[in-house]
Structure 1
Amino acid sequence: MNIDEIQAFVAIADLGDFTQAGRRLHRSQPAISRRLSLLEDELGAPMFERIRGRARLTEAGRAFLPHAEAALAALKDGREAVHGLKTGMRGAISLALVGTLADTHIVTALRRFARRSKDVRLELRTASSAEVTDLVRRGEVTLGLRYFTSDRPELVSLAAGGEAMLVVAAPGHRLAGRRVRHARMLEGERWIGFPPVPEERDSSGHVLARQLIHAGLDAADVTLIDSLTAQKRLAQAGFGLALVPESSVRDELRRGALVALDVPAMRTTIPITTIHRRTGYLSPAAKALLALLTRG
């Protein structure tokens, strides 16, 4: 078993397609197939099955995947550890963050780090909270910034602040500009929100359900939409109310495409956390950035 075979396996598992895996690794599809065949011969079990043109992990493949990802991440750590000995506060740091966090205090921290560490290149990627977790877990990025704490035991979650949630509605909503002192004024309103993430103890979907119960609106009609962009567009169209991070609707509020409703019973703040792999290597520069992001 060698690194090329493991890389091919992980790429196929991630993309679900041999040809796309070949493009990622700059190899032909036959070369990817040969590498997987060698791996399967050594392990004595098929890693994938073809279902409607997609490569799906077999039970053996699912069992092997976390070990393969850990092996690739460990090799990356080794390279970075050696590089860190030579460069110190130089080189690159890879950071994945939820896109809406680019309009919060996090940007101020990143700007401060860039001024202090001119020899460090900050490589940024945006993704959803779940995707940020997967990128860090697989070792594709060193640090991650997401909403809520990750329950993954192989990851360390550190507090990096919080963000207020706003109730938003279409312009001209009957309660716009008024203080909604009594939650019963919202009875009969439809809500739009994320479905709760089943494998996590807390998520945006959990927050909406919890706040509605807190406000005595647990019988409210909730439409579950797994897209923040779609939620905002539906709210703009008057389809319902949405409870969203303040940074995610700043532009819409400025343009008047949405209005914020003043609903004290629905006020809440969600945590922002920085995550990294528990056994992963952190360069001096990565440690400095982590300290800046998580200091109170």
Structure 2
Amino acid sequence: MAMELSEIEAFITINQVGGFTRAAELLHLSQPAVSRRIELLERELEVLLFERLSSGIRLTEAGRAFLPHAQQVVAAIEDGRAAIHALEKEEKGDITLALVGTLASTRLTTHLQAFHKTYPQIHLRLHTARSDEVSTLVQQGQAHLGLRYFADPRPDIQSLPVINEPLLVICAMQSRFFADEPTEPAALFGIPWVTFPLNVGSSGEPFARLLQQQLQRYELDTAERIVIDSLTAQKRLIEADFGIGLVPASSVEEELRIGTVRVLPVAGLTTNVPVMVIHRSQAYLSRAVRLLLETLTAQIVEEDR
């Protein structure tokens, strides 16, 4: 007996919503019908996929191992559907683009607007998320393309450069740390830095590593770190003058406009962070998706001129 796509879809949906009843509602099935599909799937795989607890359900170790493969199966089916539709629609269709929210404040927005005007019959759906979440949406087939900071290390994700965004050193508008305007890195000695954790797996770990490299370059790496795994919370602490930070320029446009933070003109610490467009390595890319991909990757060529 071979497993059915409907069984795999039920398995993924149950995991996403955390229960059989809610999954049944989303799939427009009865709860017993959903339970039957999981029973058949578990019988085929000869393992239990879910633990039934008094507080709900959770994936077994076998379920966690099976999940990414199940997601890839469903994503591949969606690619097949897209391939068929592309034969008929050419420069038409729907594209789902997942992107880090702060990137909406960069010049990428202008290029997306231009793309919409050039190809009005292509419907572009946008979803905002953190960089790691953008990759997950793309990997699971819930987004055709993603825009995130830094390349994704996963082998099934292809990363292409789009733009380089400046990282700025910022402090509170009336900071107690500075009597005058510092211009040299040495003037920042002993001042705390508000930053992401260096832990592998943290969404901001690449930013923390980049800051660490900059501080080591100027022998500032003994400075205190105030570790916060949220860019919004970091900005609030910097506004409150707990420390200084190295943040993407697009993320502090509003704070600079209203005057709660200011940029420190320390050229040695200012750097750039790569913005990448990503897609699944084996994904079918419709004509519409390829056109958007070409539009986005053309930006790095403009920067190099």
**TM-score scaled by length of structure 1:** 0.92
Residue 230 (structure 2) aligns with:
227
- Using the aligned pairs only, state the percent identity: 46
CA distance in 2, matches of 1:2, 1:139: 19
State which drifts further: 114-123 or 180-189: 180-189
- Structure 1 residues 67 and 186 mapped into 2: Cα distance closer, same or farther (>3 Å)? same
Uncovered stretches (5+) of structure 2, i.e. residues with no partner: none
The Cα shift of 1:62 comes to 2.0
C-alpha distance in 2, partners of 1:107/1:175? 36
Cross-structure match for 1:5: 7
CA contact (8 A) 2:48 2:63 kept: yes
Secondary structure in structure 2 of the residue aligned to 1:282: coil
Q: 1:66 and 1:181, CA in 2 relative to 1: closer, same or farther beyond 3 A?
A: same
Which residue is 2:94 aligned to?
A: 92
Q: Which residue in 1 is equivalent to 2:159?
A: 157
SS for the counterpart of 2:268 is helix
Question: For residue 252 of structure 1, what is the aligned residue in structure 2?
Answer: 255
Deviation at 1:63, TM superposition (A): 1.8
Q: CA RMSD in A?
A: 2.2
SS in 2 for 1:92: strand
Any conservation in 2 of the 1:177–1:261 contact (CA below 8 Å)? no
Q: Do the aligned partners of residues 99 and 19 (structure 1) sit closer, same or farther apart at CA in structure 2, a change above 3 Å counting?
A: farther
Is the CA contact 1:96–1:124 (under 8 Å) kept in the aligned structure 2? yes
1:198, distance to aligned residue in structure 2 (A): 1.4
How does 1:135-284 map onto structure 2 within 5 Å? 135-174=137-176, 178-196=180-198, 198-199=200-201, 203-284=206-287
Aligned partner of residue 134 in structure 1, secondary structure: helix
Distance 1:273 1:87 in 2: 28
Separation in 1 of the partners of 2:193 and 2:156? 35
Structure 1 letter corresponding to 2:189: E
CA contact (8 A) 2:159 2:278 kept: yes
**Structure-2 separation of matches of 1:226 and 1:65:** 27
What is the rounded CA distance, in whole Å, between the counterparts of 1:212 and 1:25 in structure 2?
52
- Report whether the alignment pairs 1:125 with 2:123: no
Deviations 1:228-259 (A, max 9, x none): 11111111111221211000000110001111
| In 2, Cα distance between equivalents of 1:223 and 1:202 | 14
1:158 aligned counterpart, secondary structure = strand
The CA deviation at 1:197 is 5.6
In 1, Cα distance between equivalents of 2:262 and 2:26: 43
1:45-124, aligned counterparts within 5 Å? 45-50=47-52, 53=55, 55-124=57-126
Q: Any stretches of 5+ residues in structure 1 without a counterpart?
A: none
Alignment length (residue pairs): 296
Q: CA deviation at 1:266?
A: 1.5
Which deviates more, 5-14 or 137-146? 5-14
TM-score if structure 2 supplies the norm length? Answer: 0.90
The residue matched to 1:123 in structure 2 has which SS?
A: strand
The amino acid across from 1:287 in the alignment is R
